[in-house]
A and B are shown apart, each in its own frame.
Chain A
Amino acid sequence: DGGITQSPKYLFRKEGQNVTLSCEQNLNHDAMYWYRQDPGQGLRLIYYSQIVNDFQKGDIAEGYSVSREKKESFPLTVTSAQKNPTAFYLCASSRRPWAAQGAYQPQHFGDGTRLSIL
Chain B
Amino acid sequence: SQQGEEDPQALSIQEGENATMNCSYKTSINNLQWYRQNSGRGLVHLILIRSNEREKHSGRLRVTLDTSKKSSSLLITASRAADTASYFCATDPPLFQGAQKLVFGQGTRLTINP
Contacts of A31 in B (CB 8 A): 99-100
Closest A-chain residue to B5, C-beta based?
A42
- Bound-state CA distance A59–B1 (Å) is 7
Known: A42-B88, A42-B107. A97 touches B100 (CB 8 A): yes
Contacts of B48 in A (CB 8 A): 104, 106
Contacts of B44 in A (CB 8 A): 109
Tell yes or no: A102 within 8 A of B by CB. yes
Contacts of A6 in B (CB 8 A): 42
Known: A40-B106, A104-B30, A104-B100. A111 touches B41 (CB 8 A): yes
Chain A count of residues within 8 A CB distance of the other chain: 33
Interface flags, B84-97, vs A, CB<8A=1, else 0 = 00001000100101
Q: Are A48 and B105 in contact (CB under 8 A)?
A: no
**What residues of chain B have their CB less than 8 Å away from a CB belonging to chain A?**
1-2, 4, 30-31, 33, 40-45, 48, 50, 88, 92, 95, 97-102, 104-107
Further pairs besides A4-B42, A40-B106, A112-B40: 13, Cβ < 8 Å = A41-B106, A41-B107, A42-B4, A42-B104, A42-B107, A44-B2, A56-B97, A56-B99, A94-B100, A97-B100, A104-B92, A107-B43, A109-B43
